[in-house]
Amino acid sequence: MSSFSCPHLNEKGNTCLRLKTDCVPGRKGCVLSKKFQFAVPVEERIKMQNSKEESKKIRE
């Protein structure tokens, strides 16, 4: 079994140092885009990430 560790990942906050936004593997500009197919489409994962952030802001 292998695992992937992205050199662009800022583990504090799960952000992408390359794209200066949240890490969503496969998003446009990500080193993994066009190399892999994901079970959940990237657009759907970005929407889920955005709604998580909205919920977090409302609670703060």
CB 10 → ligand SF4: shortest distance, Å?
Answer: 8
9 lies in the binding site for ligand SF4 (CB under 6 A)? yes
Burial group, residue 34, by CB count within 10 angstroms (0-12, 13-18, 19+): exposed
**CA torsion angle 57 38 16 14 (round to 10):** 50
Question: Count of residues binding ligand SF4 (CB under 6 A)?
Answer: 13
Q: What is the C-alpha separation between 49 and 54, in angstroms, rounded?
A: 9
Stretch that binds ligand SF4, among 11-19, 42-50, 51-59 (CB under 6 A): 11-19
Q: Rule CB under 6 A: which residues touch ligand SF4?
A: 6, 8-9, 16, 18-19, 23-25, 27, 30-32
